[in-house]
């Protein structure tokens, strides 16, 4: 195993990652702290520019809880029922202004992230033995359009409207 570095999370790293996200057609970028897909605990920075489409999905394995801490920006985490309706009582806006700094979700929960401002989160995700395996990592919601499809832009706008309608839960 390679020697572990100590990684700092500072403003320069957040700036750099947001620049990478701006240059990406997906309008988001990830910086990993874990050493490889094989790790059980994946830790990463995720920079999301306004307009990125995070297709609703869920992680089925009982090891795949996910936690998010907001470092910059304003971001909604939308939770959906089986039919694709937003569960407003479970969804949250993460924003330092509203003293809501993050969220932790259980496995098998349909979710999506909507950037209301250019944002960076620290994200932690568990994985079963064998670590991250793309084929089993997530199920995309069958009621949501595929990323890059003709319907995705209009659907994202509807998610953004849902996100703006959420009342902040102040801490
Ligand atoms: Fe996820």
SS3 at position 124: strand
Q: How far is the CA of 13 from the centre of ligand 1 (A)?
A: 22
Q: How far is the CA of 59 from the centre of ligand 1 (A)?
A: 7
Q: Give the helix/strand (H/E) hosting 32.
A: strand 28-32
Q: How far is the CA of 152 from the centre of ligand 1 (A)?
A: 18
Residue among 144, 60, 73, 149 at smallest CA distance from 109: 60
Q: Can you tell me the mean pLDDT for 12-21?
A: 98
> Which residue(s) pair with 57 in the sheet?
111, 140
Q: How far is the CA of 19 from the centre of ligand 1 (A)?
A: 22
Q: How far is the CA of 60 from the centre of ligand 1 (A)?
A: 10
Q: How far is the CA of 48 from the centre of ligand 1 (A)?
A: 14
Q: State pLDDT tens for residues 121-169.
A: 999 998 887 788 787 778 899 999 999 999 999 999 999 999 999 977 7
Q: Which residue has the higher pLDDT, 27 or 60?
A: 27
Q: State pLDDT tens for residues 54-97.
A: 999 999 888 889 999 999 999 999 999 999 999 999 999 999 99
0.85 surpassed by pTM: yes
Tokens of 166: 């959420």
Q: How far is the CA of 139 from the centre of ligand 1 (A)?
A: 10
Q: State pLDDT tens for residues 102-115.
A: 999 999 999 999 99
Residue among 26, 160, 12 at smallest CA distance from 93: 160
As a whole number of angstroms, the distance between CA 149 and CA 46 comes to 23
**pLDDT value at residue 42:** 92
User: Nearest 5°: phi and psi at 18?
Assistant: -65, -35
């Amino acid at each position: 195993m390679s020697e572990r570095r100590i990684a700092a999370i500072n403003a320069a790293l957040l700036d750099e990652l947001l620049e990478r996200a701006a240059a990406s057609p997906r309008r988001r970028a990830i910086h990993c702290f874990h050493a490889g897909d094989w790790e059980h605990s994946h830790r990463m920075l995720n920079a999301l520019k306004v307009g990125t489409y995070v297709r609703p999905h869920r992680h089925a394995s009982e090891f795949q809880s996910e936690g998010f801490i907001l470092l910059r920006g304003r971001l909604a985490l939308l939770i959906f029922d089986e039919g694709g309706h937003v569960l407003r009582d479970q969804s949250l806006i993460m924003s330092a202004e509203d003293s809501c700094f993050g969220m932790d979700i259980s496995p098998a929960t349909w979710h999506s992230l909507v950037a209301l401002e250019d944002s960076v989160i620290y994200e932690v995700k568990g994985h079963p033995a064998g670590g991250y395996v793309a084929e089993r990592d997530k199920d995309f919601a069958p009621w949501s359009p595929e990323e890059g499809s003709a319907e995705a832009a209009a659907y994202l706008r509807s998610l953004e409207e849902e996100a703006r309608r959420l009342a902040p839960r102040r801490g």
